[in-house]
Amino acid sequence: MALLTDMDFMRRALELARAAGAEGEVPVGAVVVCGGRIVGEGANRPIAGHDPTAHAEIIALRAAGAALGSYRLNDAVLYVTLEPCAMCAAAMVHARVRRVVFGAFDPKAGAAGSLIDLFRLQGLNHRVDAFGGVLADECGTLLSGFFEARRADPS
């Protein structure tokens, strides 16, 4: 069996993002990988769940924690289609995620270098290695298409 790559896991996150978009949520998807296998998945659900914390990353982290029986995800890599916000980045630090790989950069709310780099703040007891731009065009096109359609039909 061939080893899966960052692009393979990002493609799964994109599938989840498309499903979220089809349900009227901002199309963001995330997967948590440990030992080369997906242990948690999530797609944005704040609208449907009436929950401002129901970002794709948070849902994926919760699922991974449940699957692994621990809130510490020391060897985990989280793949997400959009640069994490401050809430999601902080959750990754608390979970001790080893690495985050994201697709599109978010200049308005990105906390992995675009607006702020939360992962590099002094005094944190854990560092998450962040890498952005994986399938960035595809991730960005999905998001911009969603918002263009919303502006054209605000109902």
Q: Which two tokens stand for residue 98?
A: 């080893």
Mind giving me the DSSP string for 24-76?
TS---EEEEEETTEEEEEEE--HHHHT-TT--HHHHHHHHHHHHHT-S--TT-
The first and second tokens of residue 114, run together, are: 């675009």
Query: CA-to-CA distance for 26 and 64, rounded, in angstroms?
Result: 22
Which of 91, 33, 34 has its CA nearest to residue 57?
Answer: 91
Q: Looking at 57, 83, 138, 148, which residue is catalytic?
A: 57
15 catalytic per annotation = no
Residue 34 burial by Cβ neighbours in a 10 Å radius (0-12, 13-18, 19+): middle
By annotation, the residues acting in catalysis are 57
